[in-house]
Amino acid sequence: MAAWAAAARQAASLARISSPASAISGSQAAKLIQRRGLASGGDHHGPAKVNCWQDPMSPSQWKEEHFVIVSLSGWGLLFFGGYKFFTGGKKDKKDEIVAEASH
């Protein structure tokens, strides 16, 4: 509901600025246009984030995307290693046949 109201207000202000019948000067038109004040990269709160290879022993300092990549890779290796450990790996049929034939 609030989004519709904001969109309607913005459309009304743009209609007033762009209408040729209105006698608004350039400085008055500039005051009506919304500025994107919060869109800049400005002030960051807290310490700066670093790449995971720059400080590998403190994951709380890593950039979010690096933390996600490293943690997903770790979980993948854990599951794959567990699978290989508990299933004993995959043995080739040729090795079993050669081992049985030599007995």
Domain extents in the chain:
2-32, 48-89
> What do you get for the CA distance between the two ends of the chain, in Å?
81
23 pLDDT above the threshold of 70: no
| CB within 8 Å of 52: residues ≥ 6 apart | 59, 62, 63, 66, 67, 69, 70
Dist CA 26 CA 30 (whole Å) = 6
pLDDT digits (tens, 9 = 90+) for 24-42: 566 666 666 766 666 655 5
Provide the pLDDT for residue 76.
98
Provide the pLDDT for residue 39.
61
